[in-house]
Every structure is written in C-alpha cells, then in structure tokens.
A and B are shown apart, each in its own frame.
Chain A
C-alpha cells in the first residue's frame, strides 16, 4: 500500500499533505499531553513492531504481494492519535531510508495507513467490543480497517489517469478491484489474526496493558 513517487500528480500530493498537517498537529498535541511513563516505551516498541510487520510481504493470488500495518493494534492499545505518530514514524523511515513509499506521496501514505487505518480500526473495535468481546472485535476491526485504507490508496492513484495524465496509468476500474483483492484475501486476514492474537494474549495475561490511557478524541482521562 506504499504509493511510490511518480504515481500521484502534484495536486493529489499537495492535497494529501494539506489534510495530514492538521492531523499530525493534533496527534502530536494530544499525544504530547497524554503520554505517561508506561505509554512511552509501549509506543516505541509498537512502532518498531509496525515497521517490522510491514516487511513481511505475503503472496496475493494475482501475482502481487501485500502486508499488514499494525495501526489497529496500536490504536486499540494506546488510542488512534498515538497510532498516527507511531505509524507515521515507521512510514517516514521507510520512505527516506528504504525508498518504500514515495517522499512526495508521504502525505497520501500517512493518510491511508497512519490516519484512516488506525481511526477506522479504533472505532470499529470500540463499537463491537461490548457486544462480541475483545478478541473477535479486534480481528474484525483490523480486517475492515486494512481494507478501508487499501480502498483509499486505490482511489488516490486510480483517479490519476482522469486528473493528471503521465502519473499512475491505471484507472479506478483496475486499481480498486486489484487492491481490494490483495487486502481482502491476504493482508486483511493476516492483520486480523495477528491483532486478535496479541489482544487475546493481553486480555488473558495482562489486562492492565489493554486498560492503558487511550489517546483518542473525546477521551479526557
């Protein structure tokens, strides 16, 4: 889901950065105010885990690959604002050091994987948690959030043939089915299993770690 340089036209790149600037501002502000002594090392190691799980590429039946992100897991444990910071840092390092995801596309990649994904995952989890339990809701949240993020990415590069010729040559008719397939059958299930395994382990062995302060909109304490 890391959009490379050269796929998005200048207008799309600019809009995505413009959207992310206030998101980053609030994420830093809220995380800076709320992160306690226990949450700091938690965010550091979860961000490292996010970086690492993105290196595990899985085959997709159509001959491409996909990977999970870890954004829902961070959002469930520390809240979505903290996840914005954690995944953004991983994506910035991937872009600058490893050329994974373009630097001009960093706004778009952060929007999809560091903003849409953790916020979607967090709210799906919160809605389902009281009804079907933590394990099932974390699996469903991770699965759906992964797919929503993939559809956003597919839309961003799939609109380029219509608005910015010379950039991504594939239109929405090809980009959306391909990205949906990859994430419905491969990255989504992987994210669901990994997220639910960690949440299930924490629920059983360390419920205190699932009860850490959540850095989320509307959560005052």
Chain B
C-alpha cells in the first residue's frame, strides 16, 4: 500500500477514535440552526414541527435507546465506522461501474 494511503487511513482511524467529541462537545447544547425536529418559539409565535417522510436505520447517528453519554458515544462510533465503510464502498463501486460502462462502449 502506498505510504500516503496508509497515513490517511491512520488519520481516519484517529478521527473515528475521537469522533464522540462531535456529540460530547455539544451535549445538551442544541442542534444545528434549522435542523430541529420541532420548534416552539413563542417569541416569534411559532409552534411547528416538520413532516418526517422517511425513517432511517440509525437516526441522528444513534442506536435507539442508547441515550447516556457513554452509550451515545458507542452509537456514534458504530455510526462513524458504518458511514465511512459505506462511503468508501460506494465510491469504489461507482468507479468500477464507470470502468465497466467505458469498456462496454
């Protein structure tokens, strides 16, 4: 394996290891602006919830019921590992599909 690829994969492993900081650093702090599930804002006379059309297997990078700081961190780790594995697989799959399409042509 090329050395830059090895180093990048090590960086990814380190980022995965510390990824719980991404939720613990903002624990009970608030969501990103405009990403709320519901809005109760009497100051602006707003009491609103967006329509949710679809479910997701791990909504908000969480395993259902794993709500403590520790278990949410474990859920976040699992989500990160699944997410990066899927991302890399899909990219490599797309590249493969494009190669096949070129050969067919």
Contacts and interface: CB of A to CB of B under 8 A. Distances in A.
B87 A57 contact: no
A169 B48 contact: yes
Contacts of A94: 83
A72 interface: no
Contacts of B37: 4
Do most interface residues of chain B lie in helix, strand or loop, or is the interface mixed?
helix
Interface residues of A, number: 68
A48 interface: yes
A28 interface: yes
B94 interface: yes
A133 interface: no
A47 B87 contact: yes
Nearest to B29: A59
Interface centre among A62, A90, A154, by most B CB within 10 Å?
A90
Given A55-B83, A98-B83, A103-B53, 16 more contacts: A32-B102, A35-B98, A42-B5, A45-B88, A48-B87, A51-B84, A55-B80, A56-B21, A67-B22, A97-B57, A98-B58, A98-B59, A99-B58, A169-B48, A178-B34, A209-B4
Interface of B: 2, 4-5, 8-9, 11-12, 15-16, 19, 21-23, 25-26, 29-35, 37, 39, 44, 46, 48-61, 76, 79-80, 82-84, 86-88, 90-92, 94-95, 98-99, 101-102
